[in-house]
Amino acid sequence: MDYKEKKVMTIGIVSELTGLSERQIRYYEVRGLITPSRSNGGTRKFSFSDVEKLVDIANKMEDGLQTFEIKEMERRKRRKEEEAKRRMIRGQINAAFRLRE
């Protein structure tokens, strides 16, 4: 829906935008760090969101992290966000009950 999430770029442009080599980008896909979609012919299509993610990955690689570590960081981050969401919902439910009492 959002422009940022639309998979529209080929790998060459993503390479220019991120400064990463095509080889690196393909490798990060193999490691499951990004998930570009494909055209019917098989060419990868990336979103601006993917580009942002790649820049973040590049920074972490520079810090000496390994791909599997980066992947785990993302997993943890996602869990934290989900937890925060659940807490918020619980809080709102509690608030609603308090109003009824």
Partner DNA sequence: CGTGTAAGGAATTCTGACACG
Sites of contact with its own copies (CB under 8 A): 3-4, 6, 8-10, 12-13, 17, 39, 45, 48
Q: Which is nearer to its own copies, 51 or 57 (CB)?
A: 51
Q: Pick from 5, 19, 32, 39 the residue near DNA by CB under 7 A.
A: 39
Least distance (Å) between residue 11 CB and its own copies: 11
Q: Which is nearer to its own copies, 4 or 90 (CB)?
A: 4
d(CA 62, CA 66): 10
Cβ-in-10-Å burial (0-12, 13-18, 19+) of 70 comes to: buried
User: If binding is defined by CB under 7 A, does position 21 make contact with DNA?
Assistant: yes
d(CA 70, CA 57): 7
Radius of gyration of the chain (CA): 18
List CB contacts of 63: < 8 A, sequence separation 6 or more: none
Q: Which residues bind DNA (CB under 7 A)?
A: 10-13, 21-24, 26-28, 31, 39-44, 61, 66-68
